[in-house]
Every structure is written in C-alpha cells, then in structure tokens.
Chains A and B, each alone.
Chain A
C-alpha cells in the first residue's frame, strides 16, 4: 500500500512572498541577466527582449482599492473575466486593434496626473493623482458595457458618481452640458502621432453629456476595476462610464471636465456624423448604418461554441434613464 503523502513543509497564506518583494526579485534577476549574459551579447539580448517579461509591460502596478461593495445599481449577470476586460479594448490612442491598447498603453504615465474641472462653475478645481482615489468615497458598480460594434461585457468598476465632482464645483445656472477631454500627448500615445495608427481620429478625444445625464446617479467616474486601480488600457487613471450609452461615450484617461452652455463636439460624431450621434444611447431599434443593433454578443468566455448572442435592451437595460429623454425622437437624436 502506498503511504499517504505528508508534506514536510506546511505553508500558509502568511508565507506567501509579498508581491513587492517578488517584483524586486524579478528586477534583480533581470539585472543579473543583463550583467552576466549581457556582458557577452548585450546589444542583441536587449534588442531581442530576452530578459523582458510580460509583467514588466504593465508599467504601473495596479493597487488594491477600498470600496463599498456593489449595491442597488449593479447587475448580477455573469461577469466578463478580468483578462478579457483588460485584453480587448478600443483605445485608438494606442492603435485601432483590439489588443493594441494592452500592448502599448504601458507607455502612459498616470502619476503625476491632473484632472481640471472648469468652465461654468463657481469653484473650479484640480484633482491630482492621489485625490482621484481619495477625495470621494469609492463604490463598486457592476455594469453592462455595450459597444457600438455590437459586443458587450459585464464589468465590476470601482469609482464614484460624476455628480459628486460636479456638485463640488457648483455648476452655474447657465451650464447645460459637460465636456470631457482625454490626455493629448503624442509621445506617450502612439496613435496621436500617426494618422494610420490612430485611425484618423482628430485628437485629443473629446466627449460630452447633457448636464442632467451627467448628474444621473448611474453616471460613474471609474478609477478601478476588479478591485484594483485601472490598467492603462482601460483608461487609467480615471475614466467615464455611462452604462446606458454606447461604449465610445465613456471617455478614457480624462484630463479636463468643462461645463458649458453649448452642446460640445464629440470625437466620433466629428469623424462620422451619420453613424455616431451626440446622444449614442443604446437602442435596439435604431441600427448603425452598417450593422444591426438589435442584438449583441456578450463576451463572457467559453470559446466559439458559447451561444452568447443576446437581445440588446433599450438603454442597455437601464430603463431608469428613460425620463431624461421624454418626448425626444430617439431616431433623430441617435
């Protein structure tokens, strides 16, 4: 009879090497690699990336956040796995391919950061990198995200309501709209450097909301996902999430929020006005000129055979926003 295996060493959670120590060790090993083998073939070795490892590509370490768990605004649908949320993105500043952002966004320097709130407000102010996650109390919101390209995900965001920023700035009574702007820095964002890499988009990326949309409790400023700060490719350090609108409205890596009295220009609307409107509410009855919006494929894992085509719901299922658009022709204001 074989003897039951008894491990000679018992390890507990306490014995796990701390992530920072582990990383230091990796760095040390890497340097040793460069000095040792590198002495023999250094130029080739570094050029070929022999001592690079994939982890290094994620420039800023994602930090754990403290937050109130998901509450009334969250869905209980199956979440899209984290690697799919962070590996499949539209962020044309880093290239038009879905995996370009994950590959190139590590060049984005998110600390220091400055987010300016200005325009028609009584108290304009600036949020720095630390205050993005500290000034307002964070909560988890598990939202559906519906891309205009007819795919969708379910993502656990961490953030705070945009209304909190706006209330702190005290909008003037003349303010009607909120304009947003992404960082413009061609040195960090390869897509802003070249028309072909960046899909011909006129940068910086700009977006906008009506003030009442911006003040809606569903409208979120996200600083994290899956419990940790945002990866660069998902719009670090801070992005907008408007779950009842197509994904392109949820502008990433925001540096400026300006209150205004005129409908602000929006990037995709400028590029193709007949295809992308200012409102861009998820609407299964109004098709994109080139494809149907009646259904979508939910990305949740499971390979080719997962039957993931589902009906698209009006306002992406967030029917509580319907009163905002009462009496409006949503076919005209798409």
Chain B
C-alpha cells in the first residue's frame, strides 16, 4: 500500500532504506566531487579556494546538524527507522570537514608548513575548528559495528563528544566572520532548537537521580 508509510509504526523495508542510502550517497558525495571538479577548472567564481572553503565548511555544519536531527526525528515521528541513516550522515560530516581542512592546507595555505603550524596554534578560530575535526575523526573511526560492540559503554560516552564538536564548529564559524551579525547566529539558534529535546531529557534525568538520592 502506498500510504502504509504513514501508519504507526512506519517501518521502512530493506529496499527502501537501500534506495534512500544510494540517493543520499549520490547527492552528498556527488556534490562534493562536483565542487572540486568545478574548482580545478576555475569555474567557482573569482576565488575558487574561498568558494570551496565556504561550501565544504557550511555543508559540514549542515550535515552535522542534520545528523543530530535524526535521533529526535526517529523518536517523535512514526518512522523510527530514520535512525539507520545517522551513521552515514555522521561519517559524511567528517568527510566534508576533512575536505574543508584539506582545502585550507592544500589550496589556501598551499603547504606552507611553518604558516600552517603557526596558524593552527596562534589563531583561536583555527584551533577550535581543528579540535572539532579531531573529535569528528575519533567518532568516524569508531563508527564500525564491531568496534562499537567491543567498546561497550565507553562508545556512547565517546560519541557524546559530538555535542562538544557542534559548539566548537559553530564557534569556528562565528569567529571566522568579520562581524557578529552574520549567518552563524542562525546556526546557533538552529543548533539550540535541535538540541532542546536532549537538554530537557538530560535535565529530567538529573532531577530523577536527585529525587532518588533523597529518601522521602
């Protein structure tokens, strides 16, 4: 039935998930490859390096925020299977962030190693962005099922670092602008809204723990 997806709970078939994943791969990886092809052929406006930095950086943040949407979406909509796209989007977040960093090293600073070293250390917004990248790296390499099982409880506590990564990434974004009244403000707002259910949940859990500690 065509409308069965809307019934509760709305399960996705293996085929639907597979097709969805293929489309997502095509879109996300395809867009990245296409941008680089355009960049190499000087079709990205006056400064292809800046265009690529903007493209990879902003979409890394989009992907990160979208990844974080999936858990609340899976919980609050009938379609719990959405969670099965989370790892893929998370890994793509890392891929885009890595492309962003590589563009910076290869095309912006052009492998000028002393400059790369001093910029990473001396510029707070670069350091903060780099720290976010390292967190995403740790999350990406531990994303395999086998590792997840081996790591047990520590896997979840490691992956909670994604919240630190969001804050660092947005700080990096805000700090890179010449003025505070720029796009990043909307991203902070979006991140706040996306994380709101988790914050409420964490708050509630804390209250419950406190209540349990105090005997009546």
User: A interface vs B, CB < 8 Å?
Assistant: 80, 83-85, 87-88, 96, 98-99, 149, 151, 195-196, 198-201, 271-272, 287, 290-292, 294-295, 297, 299, 301-305, 307-309
Contacts and interface: CB of A to CB of B under 8 A. Distances in A.
5 contacts: A80-B46, A272-B179, A287-B122, A301-B42, A304-B40
B50 A151 contact: yes
A87 B179 contact: no
A319 to B, nearest CB: 24
B39 A291 contact: no
Given A195-B181, A291-B119, 4 more contacts: A84-B47, A88-B45, A200-B181, A304-B48
B45 A304 contact: no
Nearest to A83: B46
Given A290-B124, A290-B175, A292-B118, A151 B47 contact: yes
B108 A96 contact: no
A290 B46 CA distance: 23
Interface string B177-188: 111111001000
Nearest to B39: A304
B144 to A, nearest CB: 32
A23 B179 CA distance: 41
Interface in B23-48: 36, 39-42, 45-48
Nearest to B118: A292
B42 A302 contact: yes
Contact of B125 (A199, A290, A292, A294): A290
Question: Looking at B112, B119, B178, which has the most chain A CB atoms within 10 Å of its CB?
Answer: B178
B40 A309 contact: no
B49 A98 contact: no
A287 B119 CA distance: 11
Contacts, number: 82
B201 interface: no
A291 B123 contact: yes
Contacts of A149: 178
Contacts of A201: 179
Interface size class of B (residues with CB under 8 A): 20 to 34
B105 to A, nearest CB: 12
Contact of B42 (A271, A287, A297, A303): A303
Contacts of A301: 42
B170 interface: no
A99 B46 CA distance: 9
Nearest to A92: B179
Interface of B: 36, 39-42, 45-50, 52, 107-110, 112, 115, 118-119, 122-125, 175-182, 185
Contacts of A151: 47, 50
A304 to B, nearest CB: 4
A199 B40 contact: no
A308 B50 CA distance: 13
Nearest to A291: B123
A290 B179 CA distance: 12
A196 B186 CA distance: 10
B46 A98 contact: yes
A87 B47 CA distance: 10
Which 6 residue pairs spanning A and B have beta carbons closest together? Answer: A200-B181, A88-B46, A303-B42, A84-B46, A199-B179, A304-B39
Task: Name, among B46, B109, B112, B119, the residue most crowded by chain A CB atoms within 10 Å (CB to CB).
Answer: B46
A304 B52 contact: yes
Contact of B181 (A98, A199, A303): A199
Given A304-B107, A305-B40, A299 B182 contact: no
Nearest to B114: A294
Contacts of A294: 115
Contact of B45 (A80, A98, A200): A98
A87 B41 contact: no
Given A290-B124, A291-B119, A292-B119, A199 B178 contact: yes
Nearest to B186: A196
A200 B118 contact: no
Contacts of A198: 181
A92 to B, nearest CB: 8
A209 B145 CA distance: 64
Contacts of A297: 47, 49, 108
Contacts of B52: 304
Contacts of B178: 96, 149, 199, 272
Contact of B39 (A272, A287, A295, A303): A303
Given A200-B181, A304-B39, A305-B40, A290 B47 contact: no
Contacts of B119: 291-292
A145 to B, nearest CB: 12
A22 B144 CA distance: 63
B174 to A, nearest CB: 11
Nearest to A90: B178
